[in-house]
Amino acid sequence: MRKFIRLCSTIALASLLSACASQPKVRVDKDAGTNLAAYKTFGWFAEKKDEQADSLVSRRVRTAVIASLQSKGYALNEAAPDVQISYALRVYEKPKDSGMRIGVGAGGGSGNVAGGVGLSIPVGKRNENVAAMTLDAVDPTRKAQVWTASYEMRIAGQDITDAEAQKLIDILLEKYPRAQ
């Protein structure tokens, strides 16, 4: 019985530690045959005329992308860029898990047969705002996507702020190579 309790305690501790360590990860994919560092200039992927107007959020994101790429040695060139940048941003509300739960369980056994029933009730659940972004790099001469990155993070309000946009873009472009 002591071995069983020790095993259960070890499994519970390992589960708790792995739950605490799990954080959103940046998902990056790139065209294996493309040398991204060979590009010198960037511009914006042409959007359709009927899409949203130049919003405050759009300006914040574009300003953050320009600052991050220029710090990596790329130059903004709207007329004839080597690579075009596009993004998709979604801000939404999702339930926030407080991490605290109340558990009630019952079990019993006889001989070599055992059974149990458990119930877990979350405590202190409320919502949080999350910004999910995908950033893409497109080669305009090949008309092909050559790099993409996705990430989501908590934000303070319904719209992304300048600081949040810069942090999100810096995280997304962290694995984008410096210009040669």
Tens-digit pLDDT profile for the chain (180 aa)? 666 566 555 565 555 555 554 567 899 999 999 999 999 999 999 876 555 557 899 999 999 999 999 999 999 999 999 999 999 999 999 887 666 566 666 566 666 666 666 666 666 558 899 999 999 999 999 999 999 999 999 999 989 999 999 999 999 999 999 998
Q: Is residue 11 part of a domain?
A: no
> Domain holding 154: CATH number?
3.30.160.670
Q: Is residue 160 part of a domain?
A: yes
| Residue 58 near residue 166, CB atoms below 8 Å | no
CB burial of residue 124 (10 Å; 0-12, 13-18, 19+): exposed
Q: Is residue 14 part of a domain?
A: no
Q: Is residue 73 part of a domain?
A: yes
pTM over 0.95? The answer is: no
Residues 158, 137, 37, 28: is their CA dihedral positive or negative?
A: positive
Q: The domain containing residue 163 runs over which residues?
A: 24-101+119-175
Q: Is residue 107 part of a domain?
A: no
Q: Is residue 9 part of a domain?
A: no
Q: What is the total count of domains within the chain?
A: 1
CB burial of residue 134 (10 Å; 0-12, 13-18, 19+): middle
